[in-house]
Structure 1
Amino acid sequence: MKKTLLAAALIVGFAGVAQAETSVTMYGILDTGYGYSNFKYSKDGISAKRTSSGLTSGIVNGNRWGVRGSEDLGDGLRAIFTLEAGFDINTGKSQQGDDAFFGRQAYVGLASDNWGTLTMGRQYNVATGMTYANNLSVSMGDMDKAFGSQGLGSRMDNSFKYVTPNFSGFTAGVAYGNPKTTITRVDGTSVGSSDRSNWLSTGLNYANGPLAVGASYDRASLGGGQENAITNWALSGSYDFEVVKLALAYGQDRHGKLGWGELGGDTGMNNGLATNAYFQDFKSNNYYVGLSAPVGTGTLAASWSRSDSNLDDADKLGDDAKAQNIYHLNYKYPLSKRTTVYAYGSYGTGIAYIDGLKGKEAGVGLNHKF
């Protein structure tokens, strides 16, 4: 009997060690709701309108499922990996990365408490982890509708990424990738793709108590005979006053705006401003202000974002261009730690820098994390 108990204890002990050394976790987010949107163009006697309503996938968070793992290699060193797939919950279709199975993230690397983390594969640029103002707004009001996902939340193929350990609240990172980039000019004509493109992403942040600030810089050389690389930099910060949380950001784009597609989905009236909108001497200034406060057991958030550009120059869109301004309001009510219901609304003018193009949207939805 004693030998049996001893054997059982040893088996349990070894199982505990194995579990501590290697772990694999499955996770995901399910998000959908009913949404209404209306985009209307009216100028110089010309008018057009596009209205849509129905179930909308990924309003607050993009739908995803994934697995992440870690193996303890000793002396504080770990092998890590993440495989994450995005999908439309209303159709079941894959999203991101030209329908790649793990289009959201797919990387493997090493992590050390003393030396930092090195990862390789398809992963977010450094700005994604160095920005602290992009947590208040959703859908059309999201910060990336002004700044573009190039600087604030874009994925890099074929990339190496290194992030330092936390030094008294400071963290820095750098990433480099060689994605094959397709260039589309502002007039909608495709320049084609190039294997000579490269992308450098860097960032620095500081987080301590209620204060968080971050800075990021991205430089993407498109190759294909283009003279200037597209650059983006941003400064952002947030401060939690306990009753109210304030978020601010400012940044600039030069020579283009990578990762910036049609606002609110395909409006059908984007005037050729497609993803990777490109002008050799394009410039834009981007602004974001967000406020959030607890109301009842939920959180009410409001934001304003603006992006002005030089597209109103005579050699570009001229009088057809205008600065983009978007106003947003949302309320999130937690039913549990993992499940939230929400309502949102947005209104924008100068959508996609087009004079005469306005947009509005509203909806309600459900978000569940597992």
Structure 2
Amino acid sequence: MSRQRTATAFAHAALALGMCAASGAWAQAVPGSSVTIYGLMDACVTSADLGTDRINGLNSGCLYGSRLGFRGTEDLGGGLRASFTLESGLTIDNGMLGQGGRMFGRKSLVSLSGGWGAVELGRDYAPAFYVVQPIDPMALGIGTASSTIWTGAASTTAARNDNAMNLLSPTWGGLTIRLQVAAGERGNNGSRNAQGVNMLYRSGKTIAGLSHTRVANATNSDHDRATTVGASHDFGAFSLAAIVQSGAWEGSRTAAAPSSATSIFSRSYRSYLIGGSVRAGDVGKVNASLKRYDDRTARDFDATQFSVNYVYSLSRRTDLYAGYSRLRNERASSYSVSDATTAYSGVTPGASTSLIATGIKHVF
């Protein structure tokens, strides 16, 4: 980079910091402005059976990923609002940043909203995530649906896209539409163009959603794609949920389902989930799911997974939990069992793998 371009970059950064400082001071004085600090801390003890090896440890985020966040909003008048969200992922067992060391790797957005909907710019979850997460009985925790149901991001190890622009509709009778376009950047460690759309319906105790995702390869010559549909309903004492996804990985990425927990998806696949929750007394809940991954290539690398957990609420902010997940690999596949933050890889091909975890979650 030339000296002139370096100086320009520093000037832009200084201007941005100055604007942030000024807006912070302005928010202190203007009615209708607010900033909220929030977070979630989750620590767990785990034991993972990999077939020929067992891994025991203290981990961060089995039920949910630990985080620290800041969000703010300003009422601009006339129904117009400006907002921001900055959210850091944390690994509570060692105090480090998550998402590869990003300061705000979970989410970093600025938005403008009104009666017409909203525009959001920054790093955000892919639209398929907003369908899968609220419907998955495990809430993407122990035995997460995302191990066999793609959440639509450019990387299968994360549910988020960089350089994202979201267009959100207003809510019509419980229905909202989200459109996302994420631009890839040359030299940005494999960042790829991504597009996604979802329709999400929420009414009373019913959630239903549909999404479609396309993610280009590094040369933008082909793309991955998936269509996801799911629904759940809370009957009071119990709830039921189901998700179906049909997708295909583009040719240059993989010829068949690889033996890797970080990229289970193949040239052609179907993935299914059924499950639900049962209330256990006034402060307890049992959640369970059964998943089937159907690799439709010639190698037929299939897998079946059962997951169950029990969550006991000590208060509105603090839960104790324990969970179990078992994944049965077929033929030579070696997919790994996962929780909210960790894929326990290193599974012997064709072997079953399982995870036992217990922990505590506290929100603030």
Query: Which TM-score bucket, shorter chain as reference?
Result: 0.7 to 0.9
Would the aligned equivalents of 2:48 and 2:353 in 1 still touch at CA under 8 Å? yes
Would the aligned equivalents of 2:112 and 2:118 in 1 still touch at CA under 8 Å? yes
SS class of match (1:352): coil
Would the aligned equivalents of 1:238 and 1:245 in 2 still touch at CA under 8 Å? yes
The alpha-carbon deviation at position 134 of structure 1 amounts to 1.9
Residue 23 of structure 2: aligned partner: none
Residue 144 of structure 2: aligned partner: 142
Change (3 A) 1:127 1:20: farther
The alpha-carbon deviation at position 128 of structure 1 amounts to 2.4
SS class of match (1:141): coil
Q: Does the alignment pair 1:65 with 2:52?
A: no
Q: Any residues of structure 2 matched to 1:53-202 within 5 Å, and which?
A: 53-96=56-99, 98-112=100-114, 114-131=115-132, 132-136=134-138, 139-150=141-152, 154-180=159-185, 197-202=192-197
SS class of match (1:130): helix
Q: Any residues of structure 2 matched to 1:279-290 within 5 Å, and which?
A: 282-290=267-275
Distance 2:263 2:227 in 1: 16
Distance 1:193 1:251 in 2: 28
Residue in structure 2 matching 1:331, options 307, 310, 319: 310
- Per-residue Cα deviation, 1:115-165 (whole angstroms, up to 9, x for no partner): 111110111112222344224355451111110232697211011001111
Distance 1:215 1:283 in 2: 19
Distance 1:300 1:36 in 2: 20
Distance 2:318 2:104 in 1: 24
Would the aligned equivalents of 1:59 and 1:138 in 2 still touch at CA under 8 Å? no
Residue in structure 2 matching 1:219, options 199, 204, 214: 214
Residue 27 of structure 1: aligned partner: 38
| Ranges in structure 1 where 5+ consecutive residues have no aligned partner | 1-14, 41-48, 183-191, 260-269
Residue in structure 2 matching 1:206, options 201, 206, 220: 201
Q: Does the alignment pair 1:39 with 2:22?
A: no
Could you state the TM-score of these two structures normalised by the residue count of structure 2? 0.79
**Considering only CA atoms, is the larger Rg found in Structure 1 or Structure 2?**
1
Aligned residue identity for 1:295: A
Distance 2:289 2:354 in 1: 14
Distance 1:294 1:278 in 2: 34
Distance 1:256 1:343 in 2: 38
- Per-residue Cα deviation, 1:205-224 (whole angstroms, up to 9, x for no partner): 11111221100111011132
- Per-residue Cα deviation, 1:290-342 (whole angstroms, up to 9, x for no partner): 1101102210111101111134x1xxxx3xx5311110110000011010000
Change (3 A) 1:84 1:17: closer
Cα RMSD (Å) of the superposition?
Answer: 2.9
Could you state the TM-score of these two structures normalised by the residue count of structure 1? 0.78
Residue 8 of structure 2: aligned partner: none
Q: Does the alignment pair 1:306 with 2:292?
A: yes
- Per-residue Cα deviation, 1:6-62 (whole angstroms, up to 9, x for no partner): xxxxxxxxx99957411000001100111111111xxxxxxxx22111211101110
Distance 2:205 2:137 in 1: 15
Q: Which moved more, 1:270-279 or 1:240-249?
A: 270-279
Distance 1:145 1:16 in 2: 42
Would the aligned equivalents of 2:148 and 2:264 in 1 still touch at CA under 8 Å? no
Residue 342 of structure 1: aligned partner: 321
SS class of match (2:101): coil
Would the aligned equivalents of 1:292 and 1:299 in 2 still touch at CA under 8 Å? yes
Aligned length: 316
Change (3 A) 1:136 1:277: closer
The alpha-carbon deviation at position 73 of structure 1 amounts to 0.3
Change (3 A) 1:245 1:252: same
Would the aligned equivalents of 1:194 and 1:224 in 2 still touch at CA under 8 Å? no
Distance 1:20 1:54 in 2: 48
Change (3 A) 1:331 1:194: closer
Moved beyond 3 Å, runs of 4+:
15-20, 137-140, 179-182, 192-195, 274-279
| Ranges in structure 2 where 5+ consecutive residues have no aligned partner | 1-25, 337-347
